[in-house]
Amino acid sequence: MTVKQLASGLGMDVAKLMASMAEAGDAASTEEERVPLDTAELMALEYNHIPTVDKTSRAPDLDAEPRSAVVTVMGHVDHGKTTLLDALRSTAVAAGEAGGITQHIGAFEVVMPGSKTALTFLDTPGHAAFSAMRARGAAVTDIAVVVVAADDGVMPQTKEALRHAKSAGVPVVIGLTKCDAPGADTQKCINQLLAEGLPLEEAGGDIQVVELAAAKGKGLAELEEALHLQAEMMELKASKSCDAEGLVVEAKVDRTQGPAATVVVKRGTLRAGQYVVIGTEHGRVRALRDAAGKPLKHAGPGQPAEIIGLRGVPHAGDELMVVSSEERARLVSQARTNKAVEFRHAQSHESILEASSASD
Ligand code: GTP
Ligand code: MG
């Protein structure tokens, strides 16, 4: 976006905007000069606009490369979500360094033997994470695994999960869990799902069904394969080269490290040492860690990473923005804090940066 476009979006005089930018330490010499996103945001906030960036109208990155799919597991209470995630996580640990202790950071990566791209599983309670993100208009999930316990069948929260996914436009893979349990009846579950109007593969549709007995490690490879297939069809791609954009999936205070936030990078590369603003919080990325607690130098598109070094604890669904300096990080988070309530609702509203970012 240029200075001129920003001024017009803010409904203000170009000269006045240039003066304000200069005052903020971001002088532009011509009105055709491009305005960095954080400067645009500071100006918008100063002049009483709540900025949002419409990523859907953005031109595709020319250097986009295939990225990992981000997967959420949802389903009825007790239908085996945690058992499934634990089983998947242990395959990730087994495949990684021996003795790696997994900690709970809200997301983890699984790389299938022989596969180039990983799968990232969100490890937060599916519904909660999904709703928090959705309410903010922020979509972190690419694919939803909706589990149905084979010994129990389709239940109210199964239907709710299916509705959630549908309204978010997120494709579903069905995991029939507890196939080893007494009374398991997979055909009955399939019939129930068909009765719900779900276009399953066996009926000529495109929703895959995978039979699982996660407690015994059965069906995990098939599930990962189904997810890779789904991801391939979606042609998930992102640029690695730009500044990172990402979303918080979980945040907490670590006893020894202070505030810690797990983000999933959606675009670009996040690097240790960078300054970031996340929601109304900010800080320097003192360290990045994976789910095994191993330090990462950087995290790319689709990858989860825990950030250490924030001044406070952000919220699930908050977006991450990389800025050039500590001072800038402080300024943006301060400006957002002053408008915190409005800012948190901003994502669903139209705004000034939206139209202009299309030409960016
Ligand atoms: P909530 O988080 O409470 O909604 O439950 P959940 O969906 O995470 O289910 P969880 O993984 O805790 O499993 C519920 C019960 O089902 C536990 O007693 C598990 O041992 C059992 N269970 C889970 N997976 C399997 C499986 O593959 N086979 C069998 N036989 N039992 C399973
Ligand atoms: Mg659970």
Q: What is the rounded distance in angstroms from the CA atom of residue 144 to the CA atom of residue 170? A: 7
Does position 124 have pLDDT exceeding 80, yes or no?
no
CA of 303 to the centre of ligand 1 (A): 27
How does pLDDT run across 29-64, given as a tens digit for each residue?
Answer: 999 999 888 888 889 888 877 666 666 556 678 889
- Cβ(327)–Cβ(275) under 8 Å? no
Does position 347 have pLDDT exceeding 60, yes or no?
no
pLDDT confidence of residue 131: 62
pLDDT confidence of residue 185: 98
> Which H or E element spans position 65?
strand 65-66
Please give the full DSSP string across 262-293, using - where no structure is assigned: EEEEEESBEETT-EEEETTEEEEEEEEE-TTS
Nearest to 122 by CA among 133, 136, 137: 133
Report which ligand 1 atom has the smallest distance to the Cα of 79.
7
Using the CB atoms, write b or e for 183-217: b if 16+ within 10 Å: ebeeeebbebbeeeebebeeeeeebbbbbbbbeee
Average confidence (pLDDT) over 349-353 = 35
Q: How confident is the model at residue 359 (pLDDT cuts 50, 70, 90)?
A: very low
Closest ligand, as measured to the CA of 214:
1
Interface confidence (ipTM) of the complex: 0.99
Average confidence (pLDDT) over 187-192 = 98
DSSP state of 181: S
CA of 75 to the centre of ligand 2 (A): 10
* Cβ atoms < 10 Å from Cβ of 60: 9
pLDDT confidence of residue 342: 66
Does position 177 have pLDDT exceeding 70, yes or no?
yes
Does position 264 have pLDDT exceeding 90, yes or no?
yes
pLDDT confidence of residue 220: 94
Residue that wins the pLDDT comparison between 1 and 330: 330
- Cβ(182)–Cβ(198) under 8 Å? no
DSSP state of 358: T
Closest ligand, as measured to the CA of 177:
1
Amino acid residing at 114: G
Q: Whose CA is nearest to atom 14 of ligand 1?
A: 78
Please give the full DSSP string across 206-248, using - where no structure is assigned: SB-EEE-BGGGTBTHHHHHHHHHHHHHHHT-EE-SSSB-EEEE
pLDDT confidence of residue 169: 87
Q: Which of 113-122, 215-224, 330-339 tops mean pLDDT?
A: 215-224
How does pLDDT run across 245-255, given as a tens digit for each residue?
Answer: 999 988 999 89
Q: Whose CA is nearest to atom 31 of ligand 1?
A: 178
How does pLDDT run across 86-113, given as a tens digit for each residue?
Answer: 899 887 655 554 444 556 778 899 987 7
Q: Whose CA is nearest to atom 23 of ligand 1?
A: 80
The 3-state secondary structure of 310-356, one letter per residue: ECCCCCCCCEEEEECCHHHHHHHHHHHHHCHHHHHCHHHCCCHHHHH
pTM of the model: 0.84
pLDDT confidence of residue 209: 98
Does position 357 have pLDDT exceeding 60, yes or no?
no
Radius of gyration for the alpha carbons in the chain, expressed in angstroms and rounded: 22
CA of 168 to the centre of ligand 2 (A): 22
Report which ligand 1 atom has the smallest distance to the Cα of 83.
11
* Least reliable range by pLDDT among 2-16, 45-59, 191-205: 45-59
Average pLDDT along the chain: 85
Q: Whose CA is nearest to atom 10 of ligand 1?
A: 80
pLDDT confidence of residue 137: 46
pLDDT confidence of residue 275: 97
- The percentage of residues in the chain with a pLDDT greater than 90, rounded to a whole number, is 58
